[in-house]
A and B are shown apart, each in its own frame.
Chain A
Amino acid sequence: MQVKETNTDFEVRSLDSSCPNSSELTHPWWYNFKYLLAGILFGVILTKAEVISWFRIQEMFRLQSFHMFGIIGSAVVVGVISVFIIKKYKIKTIYGEEVHFEDKPFNKGLVIGGLLFGFGWAMTGACPGPLFATIGTGATVVIVTLVSAIAGTWVYGLLREKLPH
């Protein structure tokens, strides 16, 4: 039986075999160091924004502070404007490639998986980005939480066919 593989993953693009932008450039591996630098920047911002604080997350979900909502809200506003400008003026990447966007369809995982992640977010006080940053700040026990998150991803992969999507 042929299983139709539909990519529901928003963050992974190379898996789209039918991706119309398949002319993606191939670069030597060390070109990836620019993403390391971008990551360092992101890690510094997340830490200085206190987004990685367990206490800030508890505060957010108890509606006791505007801080987190202000951060996410203003980040989205800046993101929306940036994407709008890139689309409108057809701004190319530094390699002259067209910037590619694609919309992913609705699937039940957005709600079920979303709720489960919400539970985990409140418990650990960290979404995936902050997990990495918190370890960097020296909270070594969070390594256990990260390994557990990797295990969770693995179990999802194992059960994927049996889960409603």
Chain B
Amino acid sequence: MTEWLQKPWPWYVAGPLIGLMVPLLLLIGNKRLGISSSLRHICAACLPAKIPFFQYNWKKEAWNLFLVAGVLIGGYVAANFLSSHEPVLVNEKLLSELQQYGITNHDGLVPTDIFNWPALLTIKGLLLMVAGGFLVGFGTRYAGGCTSGHSIMGLSNLQLSSLIATCSFMAGGFIMANLIMPFILKL
């Protein structure tokens, strides 16, 4: 059993489990699955700065902060107790492509060659980690949700707006990964 748990879970196991988070949260407290709104609550709690968008009772949404704290702990639990510590098996084509850009270490979940503390002082690192993070926070709130809120929860409720958002997420990702990233990785 533990051996099975330690192997990477195939998509047809992990996907449905992610889908089950939707009814779980609905039934234990009428909550909609969503992660990115936690970033808004953190702003409202720490630095509302009289901005109308952050003037609301964030304590009422505290459940969401508990949820994301749990996600962080879950990452710790999975990495330390439920992992075989094998590198993720990705397409060889991707690996040889990344090799051109000096990304040879693919043992971890992040490419440690370019995602590390000293790399924050390089243009490439700044763009990927800092500007990239900024776009995640800005874009998800502008779109009113992220992959969990729109692509999982919203689509589960057959919301047209969530379908539009999901297509936009994917389009943005395709443009960045195929057309812009090659230039950033060359830096």
Contact = CB atoms under 8 A, between A and B. Distances in A.
A and B: real partners? Answer: yes
Interface of A: 3, 5, 8-15, 21, 24, 29, 31-62, 64-68, 70-80, 82-83, 85-86, 91, 93-95, 97, 99-101, 103-107, 109-129, 131-142, 144-158, 160-161, 163
A64 to B, nearest CB: 4
Main secondary structure of the interface of A (DSSP, over half): helix
A74 B162 contact: no
Interface string B97-135: 010000000101111000111011000000111111111
Contacts of B120: 141, 144
Interface residues of B, number: 132
Nearest to A61: B177
A13 B30 CA distance: 10
A97 to B, nearest CB: 6
Contacts of B71: 39-40, 42-43, 46, 129, 132-133, 136
Interface string B145-183: 111111111111111111011111111111111101100
Interface of B: 5, 8-9, 11-12, 14-32, 34-40, 42-43, 47, 49, 51-54, 56-57, 60-64, 66-79, 82-83, 88, 90-91, 93-94, 98, 106, 108-111, 115-117, 119-120, 127-162, 164-178, 180-181, 184
A24 B31 CA distance: 11
Contacts of A152: 39, 133-139, 141
Contacts of A38: 21, 24-25, 28, 67, 70
B181 to A, nearest CB: 6
Contacts of A106: 160-161, 164
Contacts, number: 545
A120 B161 contact: no
Contact of B73 (A43, A60, A156): A43
A141 B75 contact: no
Contacts of B150: 10, 114
A117 B136 contact: yes
A21 B30 CA distance: 10
A9 B142 CA distance: 8
A29 B140 CA distance: 27
A12 B24 CA distance: 17
Nearest to B117: A141
Contacts of A91: 27
A103 B157 contact: yes
A48 B143 contact: no
Contact of B137 (A14, A86, A153): A153
B70 A39 contact: yes
Contacts of A132: 35, 68-69, 71-72, 75
Contacts of A128: 35-36, 38-39, 68, 136, 140, 146-148
17 contacts: A11-B149, A11-B153, A35-B67, A43-B76, A49-B11, A50-B8, A51-B18, A82-B20, A113-B143, A114-B150, A115-B171, A120-B139, A121-B169, A133-B78, A145-B133, A152-B135, A152-B139
